[in-house]
Structure 1
Amino acid sequence: MEAAKSLKVNSVNNKSKTSSTKNTISKVKEITYTILIYAELIFMCFIVLFPVVWIVGSSFNQGTSLAGATPIPANPTIAHYVELFEKTNFAKWYLNTLKIAVINMLFSVFLSTTMGYIFARFRFKGKKPALISILVLQMFPSFMGMTALYILFLTFNLLDNHWALILCYSAGQIPYNTWLIKGYMNSIPKELDESAMLDGATKGQIFFKIMFPLIQPIVSFVAVTTFMTPWMDFIFPRLIISSNHKLTLAVGLYDMISGNSQNNFTMFAAGCVLVAVPITLVYISMQKFLIEGMTAGANKG
């Protein structure tokens, strides 16, 4: 009897030791995975943030070259920021780009939301072919039609005119944004529309008083993305705009350092920092809506 009891005790002890060993191994694996995940995140953050820190630091370095610039300047100066406004038309380029971005955002939001509402809530002949056509149109790169657009704007005397950029940006962003907004609206029950119509509401009142407040996340996402477009677009403004005082920021900053005698790259870095300010502020302030909007259009139409 005593031998049997001792065997049982040894068996229980062995099982407890085995269980303890497994728990220890599991904890070690968990800690290892956590360390690896954090190491990867830190490494990726370093890769992303180092160029940003370096450019910001370079804008405060003395001299004109980026070769000897350091992320943390020994003798920081704001002279490059002052020269940017005094020696170039940077302020004018900034206002031009801001004007184009704001008007483009308003046009794009209005056109995309109304088209998305029509495709999501109305039935009409040719609806499916129209949706497919919009989907196909967004697959073609925008630069494929630049020659035709140039001839078109030349015919209508819109070359060297900001409205040419605004019209192209607004129209070019309609296909993708329409699909996004339509997909989001499809997730909203149609019973809301029917209830409002029974109460005597018109289609316009349903859109502005019921639908529009409900689709704020996707509208905010569209507004931010369309606001972003003109800030660093280079090819199309280079083709359309020729006057120095009408240039956008991307073209103006490039022209500032493109000549053989123009090598003030630290002033160029200062310009890049100022360009990033409004974009960063918009992203920070609209972060909640951006996250919602990025996952919004996944519903089937």
Structure 2
Amino acid sequence: MKKSDKKKSDKKNKLYLSDKQPLSTVGKLMLFLSYIVLFAWALIILLPLADMVVSAFNGRQEQYIMLNDNFQFSLKHFDYLFNETLYLSWVKNTLFIAIMTAVITLIIVSFTGFAYSRYRFKGRKASLMAIMLIQTIPTFAGITAYFTMHSVISSIAPFFTRQMMLILIYAGGGIASNTFILKGYIDSISTELDDAARIDGCSSMQVYRLIIMPIAKPMLAIIALWSFIGPFMDYLLPRVLLTNPESYTLAAGLFTLINDFRTMNQPAFAAGGLLTAIPIVALFIVLQKQLVSGLSQGSVKG
């Protein structure tokens, strides 16, 4: 047999590396339609973002965003944002609320998730059901209760501000949902690791600190990211609870640039929205390392 004939025979008998069969005509058509839908969805998301970026740096934009204006690079909208508004105060307030919310949520959730996963105690199932039911109640539905709680606490402790009340609301809501999520994640960690650590003389706290938490770093990173992003994205509660513009968060503060004709400046709003994304993206980049490295840590004894 000639070498050329042998190569042709090998090609015919060659097995696919994948278990999947070649796409049929209908399969190719559906794949093409899927790409069309994904491309259209990407355009729907990216076009407003691109318009926001262009408008933030376009010096020809004045009070309103005009899509047909010629582009002229300028930083005047950022200058207006920093010098004519309370933007820096809004940033400081939002970072304070977001960091405190993330820290409080992480500390409490790490303990409650571990306790619900590894211990059996009276009222465990009932409290888990209560946690699930709490999530069905909208946060805004308790606005009257929040005002009452703030009035009672501030009468006892005058230093208790509305921002602190907002932190408790965000952390309280996050603790309930994230406890259930973290419990499910820790349930997937073998209890044999706990038993081996206890044989070596570790206490329950050492098992929690040296075994469970390092392995649970990926989920803790996600919880931290969710808790941090929440105050940046929420407009309703800060707008209702915070009455002083100097105490506004970014969402509530930037909204004043588009909802009031006296302070209307849509390009400055676009510039503020662009800057708001920076700390969230930075935190995501930092925590992304934990999502990868946390999976291989904690279960290896040194």
| C-alpha distance in 2 between matches for 1:30 and 1:145 | 50
Is 1:217 the counterpart of 2:218? The answer is yes
Residue pairs, 1:110-189, within 5 angstroms:
110-157=107-154, 160-189=161-190
Which residue of structure 1 lines up, in the alignment, with residue 53 of structure 2?
56
Report how far residue 275 of structure 1 moved.
1.0
Report how far residue 286 of structure 1 moved.
3.8
TM-score norm. by structure 1 comes to 0.82
| C-alpha distance in 2 between matches for 1:66 and 1:257 | 9
Is 1:108 the counterpart of 2:105? The answer is yes
TM-score norm. by structure 2 comes to 0.81
Report how far residue 31 of structure 1 moved.
4.7
Which residue of structure 2 lines up, in the alignment, with residue 197 of structure 1?
198
* Aligned residues of 2:150 and 2:162 also touching (Cα < 8 A): no
Structure 1: which 4+ aligned runs deviate by more than 6 Å?
A: 288-293
| C-alpha distance in 2 between matches for 1:26 and 1:180 | 38
| C-alpha distance in 2 between matches for 1:188 and 1:178 | 16
Distance change in 2, residues 1:184/1:73 (3 Å): farther
* Aligned residues of 1:160 and 1:242 also touching (Cα < 8 A): no
* Aligned residues of 2:101 and 2:171 also touching (Cα < 8 A): yes
Distance change in 2, residues 1:53/1:26 (3 Å): closer
Distance change in 2, residues 1:259/1:41 (3 Å): closer
Report how far residue 279 of structure 1 moved.
1.9
Which residue of structure 2 lines up, in the alignment, with residue 75 of structure 1?
72
| C-alpha distance in 1 between matches for 2:26 and 2:253 | 54
Amino acid at match of 2:75: I
SS in 1 for 2:198: helix
| C-alpha distance in 1 between matches for 2:225 and 2:180 | 16
Distance change in 2, residues 1:67/1:80 (3 Å): closer
Report how far residue 288 of structure 1 moved.
7.2
Report how far residue 26 of structure 1 moved.
6.3
Question: For each residue in 1:202-253, what CA deviation from the matched residue of structure 2 results, as whole angstroms up to 9, or x when unmatched?
Answer: 1111101110001011111101001010002122112222222221111111
Report how far residue 268 of structure 1 moved.
1.0
Question: For each residue in 1:105-128, what CA deviation from the matched residue of structure 2 results, as whole angstroms up to 9, or x when unmatched?
Answer: 011011111101000001111111
Which residue of structure 2 lines up, in the alignment, with residue 231 of structure 1?
232
Amino acid at match of 1:97: T
Question: For each residue in 1:39-83, what CA deviation from the matched residue of structure 2 results, as whole angstroms up to 9, or x when unmatched?
Answer: 22221111111111111111122232444235x952121100011
| C-alpha distance in 2 between matches for 1:143 and 1:290 | 32
* Aligned residues of 1:160 and 1:243 also touching (Cα < 8 A): no
| C-alpha distance in 2 between matches for 1:176 and 1:50 | 33
| C-alpha distance in 2 between matches for 1:83 and 1:198 | 64
Which residue of structure 1 lines up, in the alignment, with residue 41 of structure 2?
44
Amino acid at match of 1:69: L
Larger Rg: 1
* Aligned residues of 2:55 and 2:61 also touching (Cα < 8 A): no
Report how far residue 281 of structure 1 moved.
3.0
CA-atom RMSD in angstroms: 2.5
| C-alpha distance in 2 between matches for 1:27 and 1:133 | 50
Percent identity over the alignment is 32
Amino acid at match of 1:63: Q
Distance change in 2, residues 1:53/1:226 (3 Å): same
| C-alpha distance in 2 between matches for 1:26 and 1:104 | 49
Amino acid at match of 2:62: T
Report how far residue 258 of structure 1 moved.
2.9
**Deviates further, 92-101 or 73-82:** 73-82
Report how far residue 291 of structure 1 moved.
9.9
Number of residues of Structure 1 aligned to a counterpart in Structure 2: 268
Is 1:35 the counterpart of 2:40? The answer is no
**Deviates further, 280-289 or 241-250:** 280-289
